[in-house]
Homo-oligomer: A and B are copies of this chain.
Amino acid sequence: MARDERGVTAQSEDFAAWYNEVVFKAGLVDRGPAKGTMVIRPYGYRLWELLQSELDRRIKDTGHENAYFPLLIPESYLGREAEHVEGFSPELAVVTHAGGKMLEEPLVVRPTSETIIGEMMAKWISSHRDLPLLLNQWANVVRWELRPRMFLRTTEFLWQEGHTAHAEEAAARRETMLALDIYHEVARELAAMPVVPGEKTPGERFAGAVATYTIEGMMRDGRALQSGTSHYMGTNFASAFDIRYTGEADREELCHTTSWGMSTRMIGGIVMTHGDDKGLVFPPRLAPHQVVIVPITRGGNVAVEDAADDLARRLRSAGVRARVDARPQLTPGFKYNEWEMRGVPIRLELGPRDLEAGTVMMVRRLGDGKQAVPIDSLPETMPGVLDDFQAFLLARATAFRDSHTRTVDNWEDFADAVSTGWGLALHCGNSTCEEEIKSLTAATPRCVPLGGEPETGVCVRCGAASAYGKRVIFGRAY
Contacts and interface: CB of A to CB of B under 8 A. Distances in A.
B96 A94 contact: yes
B120 A156 contact: no
A319 interface: no
Contacts of A89: 100
**Residue in A46, A67, A135 with the greatest tally of chain B CB atoms within 10 Å:** A67
Given A109-B109, A129-B329, A140-B140, A69 B100 contact: no
**Residue in A90, A95, A97, A155 with the greatest tally of chain B CB atoms within 10 Å:** A95
Interface stretch (A30-38, A246-254, A357-365, A445-453): A30-38
Given A70-B38, A119-B33, A144 B65 contact: no
B69 A32 contact: yes
Given A34-B107, A37-B70, A72-B37, A98 B42 contact: no
A120 B39 contact: yes
A144 B72 contact: no
A153 to B, nearest CB: 13
Contact of A41 (B46, B67, B100, B139): B67
B69 A42 contact: no
A155 B71 CA distance: 10
A70 to B, nearest CB: 4
**Residue in A33, A65, A124, A156 with the greatest tally of chain B CB atoms within 10 Å:** A33
A97 B94 contact: yes
A8 interface: no
Contacts of A71: 37, 71, 109, 140, 142, 156
A73 B119 contact: no
A49 B68 CA distance: 11
Nearest to A123: B30
Interface string A14-43: 000000000000000010111001111110
A89 B73 CA distance: 22
A77 interface: yes
A90 B49 CA distance: 34
A124 to B, nearest CB: 8
A34 B73 CA distance: 7
Given A96-B96, A156-B72, A66 B49 contact: yes
A90 B97 contact: no
B39 A69 contact: yes
A327 B73 CA distance: 35
A91 interface: yes
Contacts of A96: 94-97
B107 A98 contact: no
Contacts of A91: 99
Contacts of A41: 67
A146 B99 contact: yes
A116 interface: yes
Contact of A33 (B46, B68, B70): B70
A74 interface: yes
B72 A93 contact: yes
Given A72-B142, A90-B100, A65 B42 contact: yes
A97 B75 CA distance: 13
A70 B119 CA distance: 27
Interface in A61-119: 65-74, 77, 89-100, 106-107, 109, 116, 119
Nearest to A139: B140
Contacts of A30: 120, 123-124
B68 A39 contact: yes
Given A72-B142, A142-B72, A45 B32 contact: no
Interface in A437-476: none
A373 interface: no
**8 A-B pairs with least C-beta separation:** A99-B144, A42-B65, A32-B70, A37-B70, A40-B68, A93-B98, A94-B97, A34-B72
Interface of A: 30, 32-34, 37-42, 45-46, 48-49, 65-74, 77, 89-100, 106-107, 109, 116, 119-120, 123-124, 129, 135, 139-140, 142, 144, 146, 155-156, 158, 327, 329
18 contacts: A32-B72, A32-B116, A34-B72, A41-B67, A42-B135, A45-B68, A49-B66, A72-B142, A90-B100, A91-B99, A93-B97, A93-B98, A94-B97, A97-B106, A98-B144, A99-B144, A109-B109, A129-B327
